[in-house]
Structure 1
Amino acid sequence: MSPSLSWPLAAQDLDSSTAPATAVRIDVSQNEREAPVHHHRKGQLVMALRGGVTCSVSDGMWVVPPNCGVWVPGGLPHSNVATANARLFFLFVEPGASDLPDRCCTLSLTPLVREMIVAMADRSADTAPDAALLTQLLLSVLSRMPVQELYLPLTDEPRLRRIASSLAENPADRSTMAEWAARVALSENSLARLVRQETGLTFGRWRQQLQLIVSLRSLATGATVQKVSADLGYESVSAFITMFKKALGMSPAKYMRRLGEP
């Protein structure tokens, strides 16, 4: 088995390689749950087999629930924060080696893709007799994985950054849009226009998307639906479940079962 690398050193250690793809296990300790803003030449797929990860870039925040992956194109500055129980694999992809998106996105990964990434990380992919075939197959299949819109549009606009930071710190805050507008010295209509202009979403939908990301991250740690609902300030568990089903098409329990650990 190939040795795992500590986070966030993996990218710097592997960026000089010209291999089409290289996979590594990532050790996430209680004291190393965050990789500050950085970038690397290679594209990077962050895959979570257990726990979850949020990945932030200048214009958005992506969530990586269990058995999904977030794709970060090469050269894009980003930061990652993992849950304490996360079991991660990184796949570094040489620019031009695969027809993967040119934007950051969350990919839903099939068991076959997950097992290929694990297999690549668990041995020396550069020397295994079938390494080239495994890499070619993986990159071909990976480019066909469906994109999940598990992200929060962000912006450099300082007033919206302030609101997003406040909501991320206290997602249970149920302040009205009028109250948020007053806090950032805008009228309610002006704030509504600003959010729509900067994110393409209504204020309510934007806040709901942040809550969805927070809920997925919490559920990935093993938190109950009841606890997540309370932490987000919902008056009832059923109200939270209704929001979740409207956003992702199924209940939180069913969604997490579908992403069940291998």
Structure 2
Amino acid sequence: MAWLDAHTLFDPDRHPAPVIGIAATLAHHDSGPHQHQRGQLLFTRQGCTRITLAQQLCLLPPSRAAWIPPLTPHRAEMQQSVDYRSIYLAASLCADLPPQVCIIEVSPLLRAVLEPITDATFDSDWTQGRNMHLLGLCLSEIREAAQQPMLLPLPQDKRLASLLAALDRLPPTLEVLERQIGASSRTIGRIFQRETGMGYQQWRQQWRLMRAIELLATGRSLSYCAFDLGFASDSAFIAFFKHMTGSTPRAYLGR
């Protein structure tokens, strides 16, 4: 196990053990684009992490975990203070785990086993005894965990470059986007359906949800979120959030 600070560069592939665990609290951290030979489970106990993939934006809310398969190029950006646990699994242990990046619910059992795994030394034996059982439970919980819709596919069409360059700002309405890129609503709809599997309005709503969670997790108020995301009132924002997640913002972040 290693406790890291914001200036520590950690490469799990330098270690021979099949399981490597770390515990860290980082603030305003940007990993830069990278990949591992290993699979990674990244669990945020507190705070919010944005993960950028080749053609997707992924949000890791507090108290959830991101599963990142081996050899997946990604970049992790942590705003403010993020308290997290991370385990790196040899590729041979990942065969039955999800083949794509996903955000999963963290069960009480998974949360419990992550602590002793990240407390273990890098030369621990994972083939017998308590460690073998902890690892088996961890793999089973990852495999069976419910996934959350915290992925935003990114269109690659060059006409949308200006839209993707400003992903921290509320995407324009369809009518405004038509004028900005000089394409009809039908053309825009075809691009988004082909490249993201969503219509533009659905994509924009997914962006709003992910941005809402990011803002709330970094301490912004309901009123701030409602205004920043273009809602007419706090109650309209809460109704949108509940429609998208099944929970109010307070209940979602408190789970």
TM-score (norm 2): 0.90
Residue of structure 2 equivalent to 1:60 = 56
> What corresponds to 2:133 in structure 1?
133
Instruction: Report the counterpart of residue 27 of structure 1 in structure 2.
Output: 25
- Specify whether residues 92 and 221 from structure 1 end up closer, same or farther in structure 2 by C-alpha distance, changes over 3 A only: same
- Which residue of structure 2 aligns with residue 178 of structure 1? 175
* Equivalent of 1:240 in 213, 217, 237: 237
Q: How many residues align?
A: 250
C-alpha displacement of 1:140:
2.1
SS of residue paired to 2:220 = coil
Structure 1 portions without partners, runs of 5+: none
Deviations 1:79-98 (A, max 9, x none): 11112121111111111314
> Within 5 Å, which residues of 2 pair with 1:1-262?
2-6=1-5, 9-10=9-10, 12=11, 14-30=12-28, 33-98=29-94, 99-124=96-121, 126-127=123-124, 130-166=130-166, 168-171=167-170, 175-258=172-255
* CA shift for structure 1 position 224: 2.1
Identity, % of aligned pairs?
26
Q: Distance in 2 between matches of 1:125 and 1:111?
A: 25
Q: Deviations over 1:104-144 (max 9, x none)?
A: 11011112212211222123264376323222221122211
User: How far, CA to CA, are the matches of 2:57 and 2:147 in structure 1?
Assistant: 15
Q: CA deviation at 1:161?
A: 4.1
Distance 1:145 1:18 in 2: 28
In 2: Cα distance, 1:135 partner to 1:125 partner: 14
Q: CA 1:161–1:42 in structure 2 vs 1: closer, same or farther (change >3 Å)?
A: farther
Verify the 8 A CA contact 2:2 2:21 in the aligned structure 1: no
Following superposition, the deviation at residue 6 of structure 1 comes to: 4.1
Q: Note the aligned Cα RMSD (angstroms).
A: 1.9
CA contact (8 A) 1:125 1:131 kept: no
Which aligned segments of 4 or more residues in structure 1 are displaced greater than 6 angstroms? none
Gaps of 5+ in 2: none
Return the offset for 1:155. 3.0
Aligned 8 A contact 1:54 1:62 in 2: yes
TM norm structure 1: 0.88
